[in-house]
A and B are shown apart, each in its own frame.
Chain A
Amino acid sequence: MAKHETPLLDELEKGPWPSFVTDIKRQAEKSPQCWDILGQLELSFKERITHWKHGGIVGVFGYGGGIVGRYSDLPKRFPGVEHFHTVRLAQPASKYYSTKHLRDICDLWEKYGSGMTNMHGSTGDIVMLGCRTEALEPFFYDLTHNLQQDLGGSGSNLRTPANCLGQSRCEWSCYDTEEACHHLTMHYQDEIHRPAFPYKFKFKFSGCPNDCVAAIARSDVAVIGTWRDNIRIDQAAVKEYIAGNIPANGGAHSGRDWGKFDIQKEVLALCPTECMWMEGGELKIDDAECTRCMHCLNVMPRALRPGVEQGASICVGAKAPILDGAQFATLIVPFMKVSADNEFEELIEFIEKIWDWWMEDGKNRERVGETMQRVGLPTFIKVMGLEPIPQHVKEPRSNPYVFWQEEEVEGGWERDVEEFRARHAA
């Protein structure tokens, strides 16, 4: 039985799409505090102002992240949401769960919290919505002791690292994303659980340029699988695709008749660098021009595979919109071997070099991508001890000025110009 009249929210149940209002009403039958979410939200719709207070000192002992304080500013009117803290659980690599484990998590949350969850937050965590302060420690005890699961990151911490399915399921994965994600998660436990930085910091691991965890759009360090030799071509399979004997796109999009497969129209003409052509009945690729868009591999997975010399491209500095709009990560290292054999040493060294600089030079609440934007890519590359390479260049320069470093100029900035002019008239 509804506790509050919610005519505005009820409108959101009328469309053909799933409705969070319906979900909350259903959950409220079990957890009555959820009625107050609806009541408070209805009021916010009417008054056009939020009634949530955001943030606080809440947490569990020894941790400085994983829990986000939420309070109602109308606790007497909506006592069910007086405290309504969010708890983030670190998701397992690739989000593999047993259904038993998911049920156990849900049971635990119905015992200590509202029972409402969000699968998953944009960082990848399982988000548990709504519990009171006094329930946090007992929930955390049961979570860690009975379910062997940990909290994720929040605040100015390293956020829960995320990865795609990687080599566990995907033939395109150019490195073991699960191993990399797990190793770095364990290596950086302190940074995940206690604040360390001027602002949040994320890394994500995608096995190939399809980038199924959207690392390039959402992480400060995106580790995206790639290869540096040539795409492997099975010419016999190419012929089978052309003959229509193998369905394109692995049989996806097969709900309607798209007509006969046309390699010219569906693959060659869509190559962004126009580096593919047919010659003598064979598919040819100018691999030096390939930008790893993955379209041809996606369309003809039985004919085309990533090369054999595999590793990852490292891009730095993505963020979702904050101050200046969304920003994709910038390619910094075109190819790096990413391997458990050396415990991801090269990647760890790269990440820590960024941290040492950003912790010093980043402003409060400034993502590393914003710091890079502020100081400029040339400065960032210098900080990282890298030589500029063509892949760093966004577009040809549009002004004629050349900027020199002091050490590149004979006599530096201190030389006697008059003495110079005595020999070289202006």
Chain B
Amino acid sequence: MALTNDELKAAILKKAETAPKPQLYIKDFYACDPDSKPRVIKNAANDLVKEGKMMFWSSGSTTMYAMKNRIKDEEGEGGVN
């Protein structure tokens, strides 16, 4: 049975916090709930960005997701280097 929306969001956050790679593709979150459709997982991940718990990182052609404290920020402390 598919997770509830809140359970799914918690699973996504856990994955984003603990995955070896800090920035993840949306497909990396599919394993958080194999019973949920990709579109449901995408919506939950995008909601987490809207809530300020995760962030998008985009190369321009692809978009990845990450926790705020793990994301690669070109304007991090000390500015652009």
Contacts and interface: CB of A to CB of B under 8 A. Distances in A.
A68 B27 contact: no
Nearest to B61: A200
Given A55-B58, A71-B80, A154-B60, 5 more contacts: A56-B75, A57-B56, A57-B57, A68-B60, A155-B62
Contact of B59 (A55, A72, A360): A55
Contacts of B80: 53, 71-72, 75, 82-83
Interface in A344-388: 355-356, 359-360, 363-365
Contacts of B72: 57
Nearest to A364: B25
Interface string B12-41: 000000000000011100100000011100
Contacts of A156: 25-26, 62-63
Interface residues of B, number: 28
Contacts of A69: 58, 60, 74
Given A195-B46, A359-B39, A55 B56 contact: no
A198 B42 CA distance: 10
A156 B59 CA distance: 10
B73 interface: yes
Contacts of B42: 195-196, 359
A243 to B, nearest CB: 54
Given A57-B71, A82-B80, A83-B80, A195 B26 contact: yes
A3 interface: no
A227 interface: no
Contact of B58 (A155, A197, A198, A356): A155
Contacts of A155: 56, 58-63
Contact of B74 (A56, A68, A356): A56
A183 to B, nearest CB: 21
Interface stretch (A59-67, A259-267, A389-397, A401-409): A59-67
